Structures are given as structure tokens and as C-alpha cells.
Amino acid sequence: MKQTTHPPDHRSARVRNGAATAAPSPARTRTRRRPTSQQWAAWGFLAPVTVYLALFYAYPLYRNLDLSLRHYTVRSFVQGNAPFTGLSNYQTVFDDPTFAPALLHTAVFTAVCLAFQYAIGLALAVFFNQHFRLSATLRALFLVPWLLPLIVSASTWSWMLNSDSGIVNALASAVGIEPVNWLTSPSWSLTSVIIANIWIGVPFNLVVLYSGLQSIPASLYEAAALDGANAWQRFWRVTFPLLRPVSAITLLLGLVYTLKVFDIIWIMTKGGPADSSTTFATWSYQLGFGNLLPAFGPGAAVGNLLVVAALVFGLVYVRVQRKQALS
């Protein structure tokens, strides 16, 4: 800690000794006018990242768009002379029998994950916001699921949910519940990946909502308690309304993140069995990379639909954040 602040302090002291005390004021007016020399310096610093964004964000996105507008075969993909076919890839995707289930699964997956992650995260945040021994340590441990590589979480859940040897079915039969084919039955596979993804998403909600709770002044709770409000009323009348801005941000970011969840579903079920856990993200991958004969065009088309959805909600997020920054 000391090392971070000390050398600059030392430096500024030295500088101040050398320069006249009146010197800083012209410097300040200079920055306010945004002189051209500073603009050059600023964009000099920004140049690498700007070039980077153009090369490694804009160009791949453009290539993806291009892929979705041409009819690609494996040969023309390598040679790069695929004929332009307009929106026919999108037509193919809309007419595909997988489209309706994929749309439904994406919506259900996103909505259910968000609802549970937020509710559990908020409950835990309120709980950990009280002062008790080990509170900080336990809160830190809660971060583990979120920090683990997704392949680790997904393979662990796969084995826990294994039909014959998984611990979940073993516990279920111990209390007299019929074992379930979590990953291999079409009626349970979506539930399984939702459970795993909720587990991964709770820590993010906990951390962000907890930081939101910290900014609610304690005096409000004291006033509410003086007015005779019980814990339940204090939560619904004080905590929840005051947490609304943070909640909005958490849910919108969660929405954008959940829409693009791919790893968990692909590793646990590959979108199956029989497309029963296919979302747009896994469908896109399935089309582009999952088969022996890749369908890059339709795969890119599905991906672009996902981009549009993510960007729409992303724009809402930016708007909400701007509004909050202003108020």
C-alpha cells in the first residue's frame, strides 16, 4: 500500500520545490481548452486500442456478417469465393424445425436463471450485510463458483447429475425420491443446465447487490425501526426500493451475460438430447462447428440474431446507467 503512494508524493514534492508556486494555474487553463498538442497525445495513447478494436472486434464481426450473407461450402470457405445469397441463410434458420425450440429454450433459460440468481443473490446479500464473525471470509468463499473455469463447473455438475453414479440421485433416493435422468432425458436436460448456471451466477449477484446495500445509509434503518417497522417491512419499504438502481443494472448485465451462455450447456448436454436444451448460442456452434459438414452461413446467421438481442439489451443497460449517473 505504502509503495503505491510514496514515490509519486516524493516526486511531486521535488517538482514543487523546483517550480514557482504560480506555475500550475496556466497549466490548468491549458487543459481546459483541450489544446491540439494534448489531443495528439491523447489519441497517441488511444491508437493501439483503437486499431485493436477495429482489427479484432469490428473485423471478426464483419466477417461473421459476411458469412451469414453468403452460401458457404467447405471448399468455398477455404477459397473465399462463396456466392452472395442475401438473407437466404436467415430464411433457412427461420424455417428450421430447431428455431422455435431454440427460441423457447433461450427465453426460459435466461428468465429462470435471472430470477433465481437475483433472488438468491439478494437474500444472501441481505444476510451477509449483517455484522457477524467470519462474514467477510464466507462472502469471499461464495465467489468460488463464479471464478472457477466453466469447464470445471460443467464437468463437476455432469458427474454429480450422472443418472447411475451421481450424488444428486443418490441423495434423492435416500429420501425416497425417484431418481431422474438429469442429462439424458429430454424433459430434464434444460432444468439441469439451468441449475448449474444459477449456481455459477449467484456470486456475481451477491457481490454487486452487497455493494449496493452498503451504500444505503444506516440512519434510514434506524428511523424505520423507530417507527416500529419489523425486519420484513424494513426490507420491502427501505432496502428494496433504494436498491432499485443497482438491481436494474444487475439484472440487465445478467441478462446480457445469460443470453450468451454457451460453455455450460455445450459441455453438459451438447444441447441435447434431441435439441431439448438447445439455445441460440449452442445452436450457432452446432451449425458452425458441431457437425462433420459445417453450415457456417446459417451458424453465423443464428449468431447474428443473438448479437442483435444482446445489443438491444446492452443499449437499455447503457441508458439506465447514464440516467443513474446523471441523477
Partner 1 sequence: MNRSTSRTWWKTTVGVLLTAIMLFPVYWMLNVSLTRDQDMRKSPPDLLPVHGTLAGYRTVLDEQLPYLGTSLVIGLGTVVLTVALSAPAGYALAKLRPRGGGILNFVLLAAQMIPGIIMAMGFYAIYLQLGLLQSVPGLIVADSTLAVPFAVLIFTAFMSGIPGELIQAAQMDGARALRTFWSVVLPMSRNAVVTVSLFAFLWSWSDFVFASTLAGGGAHEPITLGIYHYIGNNNQQWNAIMATAVVASLPTAVILVLAQRYVAAGVTAGAVKD
- Which residues, 131 to 190, sit near partner 1 by CB under 8 A? 131-135, 138, 140-153, 155-160, 164-165, 167, 170, 173-174
Q: Which of 41, 107, 111, 231 binds partner 1 (CB under 8 A)?
A: 41
Amino acid, res. 290: G
Which segment (63-71, 86-94, 102-110, 185-193) binds partner 1 by CB under 8 A? 63-71
CA–centroid distance for 154 within its chain:
17
Q: How far apart are CA 146 and CA 149, in angstroms?
A: 8
> What is the smallest separation between the CB atom of 69 and partner 1, expressed in angstroms?
13
> What is the smallest separation between the CB atom of 231 and partner 1, expressed in angstroms?
13
**321 contacts partner 1 (rule: CB under 8 A):** yes
Q: Which of 94, 236, 240, 289 binds partner 1 (CB under 8 A)?
A: 289
Count of residues that bind partner 1 according to CB under 8 A: 117
**256 contacts partner 1 (rule: CB under 8 A):** yes
Phi, psi of 70 (to 5 degrees): -125, 160
- Stretch 186-245 residues interacting with partner 1 (CB under 8 A): 199, 202, 204, 207-208, 211-212
Q: Pattern of binders to partner 1 over 81-120, x per CB under 8 A?
A: ----------------------------------------
Which residue, 45, 60, 136, 73, is CA-closest to 307?
A: 60
Residue-wise DSSP of 110-152: HHHHHHHHHHHHHHHHHHHTS--TTHHHHHHHTTHHHHS-HHH
Q: Which residue number, 31 or 219, has a Cβ lying nearer to partner 1?
A: 31
**267 contacts partner 1 (rule: CB under 8 A):** yes
Cβ 68 vs Cβ 90: under 8 Å: yes
Residue 305: CB atoms within 10 A of its CB come to 21
The interaxial angle of helices 296-326 and 244-259, nearest 10 deg, is: 170
> What is the smallest separation between the CB atom of 40 and partner 1, expressed in angstroms?
9
Pull the grid cell for residue 129. Answer: 450485510
Q: How far apart are CA 71 and CA 62, in angstroms?
A: 16
**306 contacts partner 1 (rule: CB under 8 A):** yes
Q: Which of 103, 126, 242, 307 binds partner 1 (CB under 8 A)?
A: 307
- Stretch 16-35 residues interacting with partner 1 (CB under 8 A): 16, 18-19, 23-24, 27-28, 31, 34
Q: Which residue number, 190 or 202, has a Cβ lying nearer to partner 1?
A: 202
Q: Which residue number, 111 or 311, has a Cβ lying nearer to partner 1?
A: 311
Which residue, 208, 303, 203, 202, is CA-closest to 260?
A: 303
Q: Which of 5, 21, 81, 327 binds partner 1 (CB under 8 A)?
A: 5
Q: How far apart are CA 98 and CA 33, in angstroms?
A: 58
